Chains A and B, each alone.
Chain A
Amino acid sequence: MHELDVARYSTLIDPQLHVWGWEIPVYLFLGGMAAGTLFLSGLLSMGEGPRSRAVRALPFLAPLLLAVGMGALFLDLSHKLHVYRFYLAFRWTSPMSWGAWILLVVFPIAILYGLATLSDEDVAAVSARLPPLLARVLADRRGWARRNVRRLRMAAMIAAVGLGGYTGVLLSALGARALWGSALLGPLFLVSGISSGAALTMLLPGVLPEERALLGRADVHAMWLELALLLFVLVGLATGDAASRAAADLVLGGPYTAPFWALVVIAGVVVPAAMEILERRLHLAVTAVAPALVLAGGFALRWILVAAGQR
């Protein structure tokens, strides 16, 4: 199977440029958020002190989000029965092939790492509801996971970085779309995914105040990095060739200017970052507004980039 990997556009050869619908941005958003939650669960477990139940269960949230995202991706496939072919070969030059295998690897790593982070009470509560055989398998696997928790944590964080970065690399590998022609899309989607993961975790019930503070700090750092990367991407496009400049114009005065700057930059990054900083410095009551804005901004980023890139 050969991918479209040449830079060309002709109405005779490609009569339909806009081929990706809602499924792709939904998948990119959920995939990025899954990467973020997995990465942050590793980060949070490095700290001292007991963790809340929500944070202990965080590694299980990643495969759940990813499964829903992959469901959206599956809906986008024209030949759904051919999906198994991704796993019959590995092309190291193809980001899509890398992605297919990363998606497969994330599930066992996240679940095993999740077993290691669960407390004895959590396991007892779950085991009580399982048949004896499954409960024994769970106890065995958990024992192995706890003995290898450091390696699993490292593997989970590496898989998270791979998953988060790959979603952006997937877009930037399609050279025919000038808006996606930036090597910074991978890091951008990774930090945006971490930010979304932090926001989602902050919205979970039962998160401890010190965990929320830690997540808030991680979120703010990720957002500033995201802002810087966004500006670098735009500067790179605006100073590039004619096609790149035309792509940059889509969000610098063109039809996507208002959604991009209003939803992604202002409402999705600047305002929630300012709110989280003010909440911390002025000791204000914590609300769900900033995390909700981050999630909306993360989704808008992917939606707008996917839609604008296909114009």
Chain B
Amino acid sequence: MTFFPFQLPAANPQVAMVAAVLVGFGFGFVLERAGFGNARKLLGQFYGTDMVMLKVMFTAIVTAILGTVVLAGVGLLDLRALADGVSSETFLWPMIAGGLLIGVGIVASGYCPGTSLVGIASGKLDALLAYAGVVLGQLLWAELEFRGPIARFHRSGAFGHVYLYDLLRVPAPALAAGVVLMAIGAFLFGEKVERMVTKAPAGPGPTARNRVFAGVVAFGAVGLATLLLPVATAARAVPAGRIAPEELARRVLSEPWKVRVLDVRPMDACTKERVPGAECTPPAMLKDLSLADVSPARDLVVVGEGDLAQAPAEIRAYRGRVLVLDRGYEGWRAWALTPPALPGEGAAPSALETYRLRAGIQSALTGVKAAPPPPTPAAGGAPVQRKAGGGGCSG
């Protein structure tokens, strides 16, 4: 799909980078207008005198979470692909240490990396120094990152991609609703702290605050409502299509990036032999694939031992196209791993093409060299005279 004058960002990383620059400038502008180019504003957070930073950041987090969850719920966004793409993997101990260190840096300088850039744009010298510290720290870390004990520490507590909704085993919209409630609690608590410390009413009035609360609660409710949509549920009752071995072979060979093959036979049978590129996923493993959340871009082909009447429920939760291989792996074996019969004289071009494909696949998968075509018989004439002693150039 093209969008004048560009391709869509998903198809072109260059455009995504331009979008990132635009978002970056917009983010900086909003931060500056909100007063975050001033170190006192950020420090007020830690002294309890000005909780606006907490409110702005929590509002941003809630907006992003709800927007993502709603878009994923209506099928416009691949939540897990996005999460895997943009979030770093969890390294527990270095992350705890890094979090504490950056907290110390924020309190000492009055800036976080983002607001220090905003401060620089506002002409603040202390912001420039704070950002110089950020750059210096990154350079230092880049030098130390792969050395001895620091490298070991850097890799410690590796858990891969960990998400709260996986840990708590709740749907993402339900977790988002929980974060909304937490944000409202933090707002109220922050205002209470502010009033206690400054001994004066602070922050927006009740009307403005209630509007914000009503907005995020309504948005959270929309997120929860998406759980009822068919695209987001595992109970989607779309019948799986069928695919013949020949068609599967063509797709696996010519456009493997458009197809994902799941072999649901027992692990032993699958690891012994399988369709090229197939993943061995016995039924017990299917739930770990979270197929309801993955991108529906590729067609999913299910390979059973024999002919499957329908795909397992976990696979049917997939939002893209699901195809069941005709006659399962038996069908594949009969078509792809058995030498094809030679087409007879006057065979149709399509039959010859199919023969070539089958013969090629069979020889490639079984390691058997394809038989050469029979030699063309001589069309008459005198037989070639050979010397009794064999060939050579000696005359």
Interface residues of A (CB under 8 A from B): 234, 238, 252-255, 257-258, 261-262, 266-267, 271, 285-289
Contact = CB atoms under 8 A, between A and B. Distances in A.
Interface string B1-29: 00001110000111101100110010000
A261 B121 CA distance: 21
Nearest to B22: A266
Contacts, number: 45
Instruction: Classify the interface of chain A: helix, strand, loop or mixed.
Output: helix
B121 A289 contact: yes
Contacts of A266: 18, 21-22, 25
A253 B122 CA distance: 34
Contacts of A252: 5-6
B294 interface: no
B123 interface: yes
B217 interface: no
Interface in B15-58: 15, 17-18, 21-22, 25
Instruction: Classify the interface of chain B: helix, strand, loop or mixed.
Output: helix
Contacts of B5: 234, 238, 252-253
Given A267-B21, A287-B122, 14 more contacts: A234-B5, A253-B5, A253-B7, A257-B18, A258-B13, A258-B17, A262-B21, A266-B18, A266-B21, A285-B123, A287-B121, A288-B123, A289-B121, A289-B123
A147 to B, nearest CB: 43
B120 interface: yes
A258 B18 contact: yes
Contacts of A267: 21, 25
Contacts of A262: 17-18, 21
Given A253-B15, A257-B12, A285 B6 contact: no
A261 B120 contact: no
A289 B14 contact: no
Given A253-B7, A257-B12, A285 B21 contact: no
A289 B124 CA distance: 11
30 contacts: A234-B5, A238-B5, A252-B5, A252-B6, A253-B5, A253-B6, A253-B7, A253-B12, A253-B15, A257-B12, A257-B18, A258-B13, A258-B14, A258-B15, A258-B18, A258-B21, A261-B18, A261-B21, A262-B18, A262-B21, A266-B21, A266-B22, A267-B21, A271-B25, A285-B123, A286-B123, A287-B121, A287-B122, A287-B123, A288-B123
A266 B15 CA distance: 13
Select the residue from A262, A285, A286 with max chain B CB neighbours within 10 A.
Answer: A262
A261 B21 CA distance: 9
